[in-house]
Structures are given as structure tokens and as C-alpha cells.
Chains A and B, each alone.
Chain A
Amino acid sequence: MNATPPIPPSLSSASRAPVAVWPWPMALGLLTVFGLLSALLGQHGVWLALSWITLSVPLVVTLACLIRAWRRAPSVKGGPS
């Protein structure tokens, strides 16, 4: 059984407003594609550095999200799943 009480759809819609889903994934995807291509097409110097920086962004974002979740960790853990 799932520990979360089933929330009626109407209630959950009211409590949490819809958010824009795609800006972050799109931005990270575009940065990744740019990073992959800049090293391939640019080959050296600034293009390589740009590739390393842009490809690091998704990893840095992940780390930031994980750290944020850790900091906000509740003292009491959620019920067992």
C-alpha cells in the first residue's frame, strides 16, 4: 500500500498551481547539444572550454537539487512505501 493518502484531483489542482514544465529541461538540453557540438566543430581553444562548461551545467544543477533536498530533509521520514 502506498503511504500517501489519495488526494482527490480537484483538491490537488487547487493546492498546487500548474507550473511551466519545460523551460528547465529545454535549457539543459540545448546546453548539452551546444556542448557536444562546440567541441566537435570548434576543436580547440575557447570552443573546447565552452563545451566543458556547458556539459558541466546539467551535473551542477543535479548536484544543487540534491543538496537542496538534503538541507530541507525533514527530521521525521515519510512513511514506508
Chain B
Amino acid sequence: MTTTTLRRWFVVHKWTSLICTLFLLVVCVTGLPMLFSEQIWDTFVGDDDPPYEVLPPGTPNTSFDIMVAKARAMFPGQIVTSVNPDDDEPAVLVSMAPSWQALKDDEKYPDRNSGHWIKFDARTAKVLKQSPLPDAPKKPRTWTGIILGTATRLHMNLFAGLPGALFMGVMGALFVASLVSGTVLYGRYMKRLSFGTLRRDRAVRLTWLDLHNLLGTVTLAWALVVGFTGFVNELQTPLFGLWRITDVRQILKPYVGLPEVSQANLSSVQAAFDTAAKAAPGNEVTGLSYPGAPFGSPVHYVLWTHGATPLRGRLFTPVLVDARTGALTGAYPMPWYLRFLEISRPLHFGDYGGLPLKLLWALLDMVVIAVLVSGVVLWAGKRRIATDVRLRALGFDLENVPTPGEAMQ
């Protein structure tokens, strides 16, 4: 490697790191409570839901049609918007609203929420709980909720919606660039040092640099994976948008303009779940949206199915079932870019290997924080020295190029 190349890599590493460090620190710190949000909720908030009835194991679930009929009888004149069986509890959530238009109008008023839900016991179809009425006094927000909410928003988009998410995506890409350039510098710097050397008998600055190198190299692979998958995650809104205006629009084209079917004459919801399960073998059906839902068709149930393993668990395959006849219209696997996005999610969240994996995630995250801090210390310490002098002071061999200091001698 020539001196010019080395100098360029150094400049790339310095600037990519400098720009993204502050945001990376935010992301690393806010990521810690997010990692343990489930445990934090259970410890500090818990849920006040009544316990489930104890029934003999193997009790079959009641048909979704019975729950939907009950919900409609409880709120005559309203529409059902979706039916969602719970992932790990024997419960079914039936969501309702005065009309699709009312839900749409809610977007204009941040305080208004005309949608509501009823929770049923999946086995007995008894009502377990209902969402608080819109005019009910609001429960005060818990500290846990405020802290976790703030951390999540900061982590994802700095409270700035889509522009914030895209900005954080750019920071993620810069982080990856700084990792790559840092690796190149490491290779050059460590030529005459054995791995893991921490010199404490010389300048304090060299101790910091050795520490930066050691911590950076042990977490390199992890940081690359989590940084890159974080970058991909920040692109989710545009990627889903792309899918919506290409494939989804194509699929729904024949039905656009058709009048919305009245909820009085819809085909069976339970049969639609069964049809979807058959149409997407190996997948679990996690929910159903009614005809007329945003981004849906006026005459179809949209059923959401996903794979049953951690790897495939986020790979959704929507299934369209004609709500007039109950016939299957089709199953539509996601395009490659959304599959890639969904597969990259667990690798970013670290939520697929139990609590020990989360703890390791947290420890690696803290080591990365130390890498960032040591990088800032190194930059702040010798800011006014020219690049070449600095490279020499750090023990790099510069070929054929006298440093400004030598040139003056």
C-alpha cells in the first residue's frame, strides 16, 4: 500500500466516523432498553388482564365466525376491520370502527381514534376485555412507557418520521464505511504488533489507540452485521412503498373500482382462515383484514401468513380470498427485496436466541460504545497535528515521503 492510499483510507475513516459517531452513540445507548423491552414491561408494568380459564388441554377453538357475529351484535351499525388471533395466548382480537371513512378521517386528528377492539377467549368465544372507550379518561402514561417510547423513536428516526429514518439509514451506511476503512488501517497498523497488545508504558495516546484497535477488531463482524441490517431496516418504508406501487397494484387492478361488499353478506371468516392456511403451506395465518381496508381490495379478505421458524417468521405471504364467494384468489410471496429486509431483521434485533443472546447483544453493544468513545478521544487529542505526522507517531512506515517536520530540519 502506498503512502497516498494509506492517507486516503485514514481520511475516509476519520470523516465517516466523525459524522456518524454521535448518532451511533444514540443508537447504541437507546438500543439497550429496546433489547430488553419485554423483560422491562413484565417487571415494571405487567398486565392486569384476568387469567385465562383453565380448560382441558386440546380443547378446540371456537369458529371465528361466532366471535365476529358476537362483535357485530355488540356494536350494531359498525364494521369489523380485522380479526387477529394472538401469537402465544388463546385469545382473538376483533377490531371494529364506525366506518372505513371514520378511520381515514382519524389521520387528520392526532387525538381521535375511532377504531376499537374486543378480545375474545379463542376457545370459548367469551369476551375477555375491550379497548377503553374513546371518551374514557386516559390512563396516565407510565414512566416505563415514556422511556421505552422515547428510546424507540430516537433509535429509529430521531422523532423525525421518514426523513429521520432515511437520515439514520445514511448514518448506518457511513458506519459500515468507517468499519471497512478502520479494518484497512488496522491491517497496516498491526504489522509489527501481536494481536491484543495494549501498550501502557508509552504515551497515553498509544494506549487509547491499542484499545480502539482491540475492541474494534473483536466486535468487527458483529458491528458489520448489526450496522448493515440496521441500515436495511431504515429503508423499510420506501421498500414497502415500492412493493405497493408495483406488485400490489398489479394484483389489485381488476378489483379497483368495484363497490365494497356489505358486511352483511360476506363469506365465512373461519373458512377464509382455513383456505389461506392451505394456500400457504407451512405458514401460520396471523390475521385477516376486511374488504375495503387501506391498500386492500373492496371485495377480498386479505389474510396475513408468515413462516413458522425464526428465519422465516418474518417472511409474510399475503393471501387474497374473495369475500363474496369464499374462493381463493391467490397467495403472493414478497419480492426479493422485502424478503431480504425481513430476514435481516432478527440479525439486527438479536431476539432469536433467548435471553443469553440478548445479554451477549448488550455486551457487544457496550464494547462498540467503547470503540466509539475511544475513537472520539483519539480524534480530540491530536486534532491539530497534520495527518502524516500523526501516522508516523502511531508507528506507520511512510515510504519516501518526508513529514513536514523532517522536511524542515
Question: A residues within 8 Å of B by Cβ?
Answer: 2-4, 6-7, 9, 12-13, 16-19, 21-25, 28-30, 32-33, 36, 39-41, 43, 48, 51-52, 55-56, 58-59, 61-62, 64-66, 68-69, 72-74, 76-81
Contact = CB atoms under 8 A, between A and B. Distances in A.
B201 interface: yes
B195 interface: yes
Given A6-B393, A79-B203, A28 B217 contact: yes
Contacts of A24: 195-196, 217
Interface residues of B, number: 50
B50 interface: no
* Secondary structure class of chain B's binding surface, majority of residues: helix
8 contacts: A9-B397, A19-B190, A48-B356, A52-B360, A64-B196, A77-B200, A78-B202, A81-B381
Contacts of B200: 69, 72-74, 77-78
Given A39-B357, A58-B222, A78-B201, A19 B395 contact: no
Contacts of A55: 222, 357, 360, 364
Contacts of B194: 19
Contact of A21 (B187, B202, B218, B310): B187
Interface string B188-200: 0011111110111
Contacts of B217: 24-25, 28
Contacts of A52: 353, 356-357, 360
A1 to B, nearest CB: 9
B309 interface: yes
B203 A40 contact: no
A25 B184 CA distance: 12
A2 B389 CA distance: 10
B346 interface: yes
Contact of A33 (B193, B201, B221): B221
Given A3-B203, A40-B311, A62-B214, A68 B196 contact: yes
A51 B364 contact: no
A52 B393 CA distance: 40
B202 A4 contact: yes
Contacts of B201: 74, 76-78
Contact of B191 (A19, A23, A59): A19
B202 A59 contact: no
A40 B225 CA distance: 13
A41 B309 CA distance: 9
Nearest to B183: A25
Nearest to A17: B192
B220 interface: yes
B278 interface: no
B180 interface: no
B367 A59 contact: yes
Candidate in A2, A24, A52 with the most chain B CB atoms within 10 angstroms: A2
Nearest to A27: B195
A60 to B, nearest CB: 10
Nearest to A25: B217
B100 to A, nearest CB: 39
A18 B188 CA distance: 11
A36 B186 CA distance: 24
Nearest to A28: B218
A44 B198 CA distance: 38
Given A62-B215, A78-B200, A12 B397 contact: yes
A22 B203 CA distance: 25
A77 B77 CA distance: 80
A28 B221 contact: yes
Interface string B166-194: 00000000000000000100110011111
Contacts of A18: 191-192
Interface string B351-375: 0111011001001100100000000
Contacts of A81: 203-206, 381-382
A76 B220 CA distance: 33
A40 B198 CA distance: 35
A79 B395 CA distance: 17
B222 A40 contact: no
Nearest to B189: A21
A3 B397 contact: no
B187 A22 contact: yes
B40 interface: no
Nearest to A56: B360
B169 to A, nearest CB: 21
